[in-house]
Chain A
Amino acid sequence: MRKEIMKHRWSCVLRVIAVAVLGVRARSQATISERPLWTWSKTEERIAQSHTMTIDNGRVQFLIKRCIQLWFKLNRNHHTVGWAGPNQANWYHSGLFELRINGRSVNVDRSDLRIVESGERGAVDFLLENKFGRFRTRMLILPKSDALYIEWTLEPKVEVRSIELRLMNFPGSFASLDRKRKRDVVSPDGVATRRNEPYPCDPKKCWWFFFRDAIFDYAVPELRESCYGTSGLVLPSSGPEEIRLYLGNYRVMPELIYEASVRRFRVALIDYFKMGNKESLKQFETERARVRSILDSVGFLPLRLVRAPERLEESSRFGLSEKARAELARLRTLLAEMPERGRWAKEPVTAENDTLDLLDRVEKAVWLAEKKGRSTIAVLEFRCLHAELWGVKEAISKVNRYQTAYRVSHYAEYYWKGEEISCCPLSWGEWSKLDIVVLSNVPFSVFGARRAKALAGWVRLGGGLLILGGTHSFGQSGMDDPALGPLLPVTSKGAFDMRPLKKPEVIQLVAGDSIAGLAELRWSAKPSVLWRHLVSARPGASTIALFGERAPFLVICGRDQGRVAAVCAPPYGEPAISTTPFWSWHDWSNFLARLLLFLSQKPEHKN
């Protein structure tokens, strides 16, 4: 009996441990959401835009913000990236560094912010491209770690005589008390307090720095409202050649000077959000050596590339085209030289981009070959207002001849910071797992240029795209998007294209044969439309159903190897009892189910 109890206890303990471990693992997945480029200030003299990524590793939400400022009259521009959250100040939200080559800032002309990796780790690239060259700043977030690991990779187009990396820190607060602040930096050299003079630091000795403000200490309750906490900087074993530290009254600037031949360098930043000076310094003391050790050893190459050779072995199973086979061979060469041989030595940024492009192309070729044989239909629904009314999930459950997989990404829009979606495929590998993407009143604008291009590319290669109407769709969607706009089977007059109908109009099926099963639905119930979008079918598109005076309700088109469908009326308005609004029609989910099956390009009857 006692044995039984003990056994039971152990099984309970093991179960608890298993839950804890699995739970931690689940939580330690890094997710990234993106808010595309958004203009937050526009005057005659200046335009200011921001572009934000939020990386959540289950412990901290790292907000990475790209800022672009253009001064028209001065013909100047400035492109920066900052660590905007959880702390606004420390690693300055609007620009944590400036990179200078030969004494000139290279934070100019063109920049981009890209998601590189999510899942096990999170990684985001800030890319600068200009007459000086290509410069990549990769920000890496690891599970169970509060530090932001950064690697700069330089691919200069000019002869490099000097490299300086100026880091910007506003310790603890932007505020002042009676116009006073007291910025201090602790390092192995002691406590630096002297203002407005460069502190030379011994780079062999000074591998860590701790930034704080003696007045704005989060431990002081009176000032807590204006305090963020402290921050730390950790350098790797192979650090800069020279370090200078500038302490201003407002900004603190560690300047790291590297040998002109160096093409990669790293730092780790720590942000002690809402921690007092004493407490955070103690924590920094205990963790900085570990952070340095990680900084020395962690790989900044995308895991997708690291694992590619293994996965490519499988691709030979599929009958690839000659072109694809040639690309596969080129890819293998690049992967074999990774990360510092061959092209990678001279053009590390371009070589990686090209390798990722090639990997995409090979994976696309594999997808085309593999997709047809798949027995599931995978749907990703992007949900905006009124998505519930469209009932996509219910429709998917009615595509009963196939197994279905359904995922959701949520849209959000804020008048003060722009729009975002909670998740989106980051690589071709993720797109390739999908058969249909449904935009339930989700605008194109939220995708931003790169993701829009990826989505459009996926459609053209054989994906199915369903656009559903509403407040954020069609004219309100940003149909001028160069990648997604041309995919649509309809054109819109632009924003404000929703109109109420004078009376409910019954939907008429005019080309029911184009989509299997539509004609069999119970159209006698007279499903009706109360609001419409002012859209017209594009030449070459097929209008399947219409209402009123030949207004399109359902329009479809083929786009290369993919299919696109648009439902051009929103589920809006308050119907009279005698009217059957189309979204309440008992066959509405069957209608959508047949449409989804059509978009998936799967045969009506599984072989």
Chain B
Amino acid sequence: MKKVMGVSILIGAILCPLLSGESKLSFTRLWPDKIRYLNGESATFEVRLKNSSKEEWRGTVYSEIESLLTLRTPVFRKTVTLGPVEEEVFVEKMTIKLPGFGHALHAVAVSGKGEVVAEGREVICVGRWYYNLGRCITFFGVRKFKSPEEAYEKLVKKWRKIYVTCAEHFSGTPGVWAGMTPKTDEWYSGQGGYPEGIRGEKAVVESAHRNGIAVTVYAQTGSYGPIGEEFARAHPEMLVYNERGRPAGWFNMAKMDFFRTMTEENHKFGTAGGVVPNVALPEVQKQGVDDIIACSRLFGYDGVRWDGDTFGANYDVFGNKVKGDIDELNARWVRYMEERLMSEIPGYTINYNYHPQSQPEGRKLPKTYKEMGPNAYILWESMRGHYKNPNHPLNLWANFIEGVRAEVNKYARPGGNFQHLGWYAPKSEIHANHTQAIYYALGAHWDSWIKMKYDAVSMRYGYYLWDLRLRNANDAGEFLQVDDPEGRLWWRQFAQERALQDGGRELIIHILNKPLKERQSGFEKDAPPVQHNVRATLTLKPGERCLSAFLVNPDAKDRKWQTKLTPRQHGNKVTITIPFIEYWVFVVWKVRK
């Protein structure tokens, strides 16, 4: 009898979910029409709820926007009856009026008994500075797209899935400098040989904009391919020359001749070389910016990425050497570019390739970077290769963290720039998780084309990662103690503070579970062991008290990232316990006198 009972319990356990209508209820789609909104803009949210069971379900469905840590903005609330295997689509419009950075569209289904039976979250962001709200991506070779719908299906849809807020058309213009605005319907881009076309480009920009994604165009002081060759012919006075009196740059005539007649059948990627315009000359500056404006108006670009230094120790066509403070000249050029672009295309942004100031590479250009800010994007592009080289100091995790931290502290946050770092495509998710966590925990951005673990969570909590008012603390050990007897955690380097208007302050303490090895490896196979019940104790300033503490765990399942903690305060010490750390958590403490 006992045995039979056991069997019936087992059968019951198997059948129970099938019989229960509530357990088969799920949100099949939570879809904001855009990934990024501006305040005042109308948003459309689509929410689909499906009843997969064979029984009718009755209950309440509501949706809200979750913002910051505690703010909730209702979207809709409805009493719903769903027949067996029925799906209902809720399409709700609302006018956005939300704080900057990330939010979650949260949908909940509640049974008649008041139980939450289904729940879902999708992340969006609000704000103008798209560089600082999510991820960036590059694209090229879009001649093939015939409509925005096709561009969406084959390209933009993927961007939405990885929470891209800014897509850069990398080197897709016919000649880059002096050839950004196409004169033909189709072309191969002078720098990469990418097949491009006006229709395809407009389709991508249109589709990206429909989805709230900004599109920027790549530019630099290089005029490439046959267009660059023609520019050099028509305007020798506009070029920069080397000491031999020849145009600076490089070219290969075999490739140039091939490029001139290249067709779809014999198409090859790559460039035939290019020449360098002399941006020290006002007429050249004007010509370059005119071209950026013309192509941006034609395609609807939202900004430009300016690649690399503009000035070097070069000559003009008459043999006069470029003199003076190169950084100052560069800064003047940036100012000119910024002033004209911003006045002629409202909301236009500029970003800049970046030579790290704390690393021995490239020229130091502090004036240039200062001129870039605020709200520009600077890219430490060379970063992407360093981790692969065992001889490079940045191959060591400890140096890597210090390198990134120094750059962000010195040149990104104080200048109001958004620091993006070179993109990686590692073979190891473990390595990518660590790297992405380190960037975000230090206030930098990740730039890549692959789907990563922290794409959604970083956008949702962008206010706690990328707000330019955050300041990295020198050493969190001065006010924090994390119980870590085996030295498995990083936290001292990863603390930020933000002064609040009410006189209080917010402390954001990131704790990372260290990789197992000292060196980086793009092929890392071993994840660090998960750390459990980690205690952290904050030392308050005299007279301060802890108002709240929230834990954000980006590794949490089902997007349930956020937990309110119950801190225990003894004197000026406040202690919390973190249940587990897989790779990365952060705690947001609010304190005030």
The 26 listed contacts between A and B (C-beta, < 8 Å) are A175-B389, A175-B390, A175-B391, A176-B391, A177-B519, A221-B427, A385-B229, A385-B253, A385-B256, A410-B252, A412-B251, A412-B252, A413-B251, A414-B252, A415-B249, A422-B254, A445-B244, A475-B245, A476-B245, A478-B244, A495-B243, A495-B319, A496-B241, A496-B318, A496-B319, A571-B233
Q: Does A383 contact B (CB under 8 A)?
A: yes
The interface residues of chain B lying within 8 Å CB-to-CB of A415 are: 242, 248-250
Tell me the bound Cα distance from A223 to B520 in angstroms: 11
B246 engages A476 (CB within 8 Å):
yes
A572 engages B236 (CB within 8 Å):
yes
Q: Tell which of A225, A384, A385, A495 touches B388, judged by Cβ atoms closer than 8 Å.
A: A225
A495 engages B245 (CB within 8 Å):
yes
- Nearest-neighbor residue (CB-CB) of A442 within chain B: B253
Interface residues of B in 484-543 (CB under 8 A from A): 519, 521-523
A573 engages B234 (CB within 8 Å):
yes
Q: Does B257 contact A (CB under 8 A)?
A: yes
Q: Does B235 contact A (CB under 8 A)?
A: yes
The interface residues of chain A lying within 8 Å CB-to-CB of B253 are: 383-385, 387, 410-412
Q: Does B232 contact A (CB under 8 A)?
A: yes
A222-B522, A574-B235 are contacts. A413–B245 as well, Cβ < 8 Å? no
Q: Does A472 contact B (CB under 8 A)?
A: yes
B237 engages A500 (CB within 8 Å):
yes
Q: Does A497 contact B (CB under 8 A)?
A: yes
A221-B427, A471-B246 are contacts. A226–B229 as well, Cβ < 8 Å? no
B234 engages A572 (CB within 8 Å):
yes
Q: Does B154 contact A (CB under 8 A)?
A: no
Q: Does A498 contact B (CB under 8 A)?
A: yes
A412-B253, A412-B254 are contacts. A471–B232 as well, Cβ < 8 Å? yes
A175-B389, A574-B234 are contacts. A496–B245 as well, Cβ < 8 Å? yes
Q: Does A284 contact B (CB under 8 A)?
A: no
The interface residues of chain A lying within 8 Å CB-to-CB of B247 are: 385, 471
Interface residues of A in 338-383 (CB under 8 A from B): 383
Tell me the bound Cα distance from A389 to B253 in angstroms: 13
7 closest A-B pairs by CB: A495-B245, A496-B319, A410-B254, A412-B252, A410-B253, A225-B388, A476-B245
Count chain A CB atoms within 10 A of each CB in B246, B388, B523 and give the residue with the most.
Answer: B246
Q: Does B315 contact A (CB under 8 A)?
A: yes
B521 engages A222 (CB within 8 Å):
yes
B residues adjacent to A (C-beta < 8 A): 229, 232-237, 241-257, 260, 273, 315, 317-319, 388-391, 427, 519, 521-523
Q: Does A591 contact B (CB under 8 A)?
A: no
Given contacts A177-B390, A225-B389, A573-B236, 4 further A-B contacts (CB under 8 A): A226-B391, A415-B249, A416-B250, A573-B234
A413-B250, A472-B246 are contacts. A496–B234 as well, Cβ < 8 Å? no
Q: Tell which of B234, B236, B252, B273 touches A471, judged by Cβ atoms closer than 8 Å.
A: B236
A386 engages B233 (CB within 8 Å):
yes
**Min CB gap B567→A, angstroms:** 42
The interface residues of chain B lying within 8 Å CB-to-CB of A221 are: 427, 523
Tell me the bound Cα distance from A498 to B246 in angstroms: 10
Tell me the bound Cα distance from A21 to B388 in angstroms: 43
**Min CB gap B283→A, angstroms:** 13
State the interface size on chain A (CB cutoff 8 A).
46
B523 engages A222 (CB within 8 Å):
yes
Tell me the bound Cα distance from A415 to B241 in angstroms: 11
Tell me the bound Cα distance from A478 to B244 in angstroms: 8
Tell me the bound Cα distance from A471 to B230 in angstroms: 12
The interface residues of chain B lying within 8 Å CB-to-CB of A225 are: 388-389
The interface residues of chain B lying within 8 Å CB-to-CB of A570 are: 233, 236
Q: Does A388 contact B (CB under 8 A)?
A: yes
- Nearest-neighbor residue (CB-CB) of B317 within chain A: A498
- Nearest-neighbor residue (CB-CB) of A492 within chain B: B245
Q: Does A547 contact B (CB under 8 A)?
A: no
Q: Tell which of A497, A500, A574 touches B245, judged by Cβ atoms closer than 8 Å.
A: A497
Tell me the bound Cα distance from A388 to B260 in angstroms: 10
Q: Tell which of B254, B315, B427, B523 touches A496, judged by Cβ atoms closer than 8 Å.
A: B315
- Nearest-neighbor residue (CB-CB) of A422 within chain B: B254
Interface residues of A in 473-499 (CB under 8 A from B): 475-476, 478, 494-499
**Min CB gap B83→A, angstroms:** 54
Q: Does A531 contact B (CB under 8 A)?
A: yes
A386 engages B235 (CB within 8 Å):
no
**Min CB gap B311→A, angstroms:** 15
Count chain A CB atoms within 10 A of each CB in B236, B242, B253, B391 and give the residue with the most.
Answer: B253
**Min CB gap A516→B, angstroms:** 31
- Nearest-neighbor residue (CB-CB) of A472 within chain B: B246
Tell me the bound Cα distance from A572 to B249 in angstroms: 19
Tell me the bound Cα distance from A496 to B237 in angstroms: 11
B236 engages A176 (CB within 8 Å):
no
Tell me the bound Cα distance from A174 to B250 in angstroms: 28
Tell me the bound Cα distance from A389 to B232 in angstroms: 12
B250 engages A414 (CB within 8 Å):
yes
Count chain B CB atoms within 10 A of each CB in A175, A388, A471, A476 and give the residue with the most.
Answer: A471
**Min CB gap A334→B, angstroms:** 39
The interface residues of chain A lying within 8 Å CB-to-CB of B257 are: 383, 388, 408, 410
- Nearest-neighbor residue (CB-CB) of B320 within chain A: A496
**Min CB gap B427→A, angstroms:** 7
Tell me the bound Cα distance from A431 to B509 in angstroms: 75
Q: Tell which of A384, A410, A531 touches B236, judged by Cβ atoms closer than 8 Å.
A: A531
B251 engages A385 (CB within 8 Å):
yes
The interface residues of chain A lying within 8 Å CB-to-CB of B235 are: 574
The interface residues of chain B lying within 8 Å CB-to-CB of A226 are: 388-391
B233 engages A498 (CB within 8 Å):
no
- Nearest-neighbor residue (CB-CB) of B226 within chain A: A388
Count chain A CB atoms within 10 A of each CB in B232, B243, B245, B521 and give the residue with the most.
Answer: B245
The interface residues of chain B lying within 8 Å CB-to-CB of A499 are: 318
Tell me the bound Cα distance from A387 to B255 in angstroms: 13
B233 engages A495 (CB within 8 Å):
no
Count chain B CB atoms within 10 A of each CB in A177, A388, A408 and give the residue with the most.
Answer: A388
**Min CB gap B330→A, angstroms:** 19
A222-B521, A413-B250 are contacts. A385–B233 as well, Cβ < 8 Å? yes
Tell me the bound Cα distance from A177 to B241 in angstroms: 42
The interface residues of chain A lying within 8 Å CB-to-CB of B256 are: 385
**Min CB gap B417→A, angstroms:** 29
Q: Tell which of A176, A413, A416, A422 touches B246, judged by Cβ atoms closer than 8 Å.
A: A413
Q: Tell which of B244, B248, B273 touches A495, judged by Cβ atoms closer than 8 Å.
A: B244
Tell me the bound Cα distance from A475 to B317 in angstroms: 12
Tell me the bound Cα distance from A238 to B344 in angstroms: 79
B315 engages A223 (CB within 8 Å):
no
Tell me the bound Cα distance from A104 to B51 in angstroms: 90
Interface residues of A in 392-428 (CB under 8 A from B): 408, 410-416, 422
The interface residues of chain B lying within 8 Å CB-to-CB of A413 are: 246, 250-251
A411-B253, A413-B250, A476-B246 are contacts. A572–B233 as well, Cβ < 8 Å? yes
The interface residues of chain B lying within 8 Å CB-to-CB of A445 are: 244
A496 engages B390 (CB within 8 Å):
no
The interface residues of chain B lying within 8 Å CB-to-CB of A571 are: 233
- Nearest-neighbor residue (CB-CB) of A384 within chain B: B253
**Min CB gap A420→B, angstroms:** 9
**Min CB gap B130→A, angstroms:** 33
The interface residues of chain A lying within 8 Å CB-to-CB of B245 are: 475-476, 494-498
- Nearest-neighbor residue (CB-CB) of B518 within chain A: A178
The interface residues of chain B lying within 8 Å CB-to-CB of A411 are: 253
**Min CB gap A189→B, angstroms:** 31
The interface residues of chain B lying within 8 Å CB-to-CB of A222 are: 521-523
The interface residues of chain A lying within 8 Å CB-to-CB of B523 are: 221-222
- Nearest-neighbor residue (CB-CB) of A386 within chain B: B233
**Min CB gap A88→B, angstroms:** 14
Tell me the bound Cα distance from A221 to B273 in angstroms: 32
Interface residues of A in 121-152 (CB under 8 A from B): none
**Min CB gap A475→B, angstroms:** 6
Tell me the bound Cα distance from A414 to B241 in angstroms: 13
**Min CB gap B251→A, angstroms:** 6
The interface residues of chain A lying within 8 Å CB-to-CB of B390 are: 175-177, 223, 226
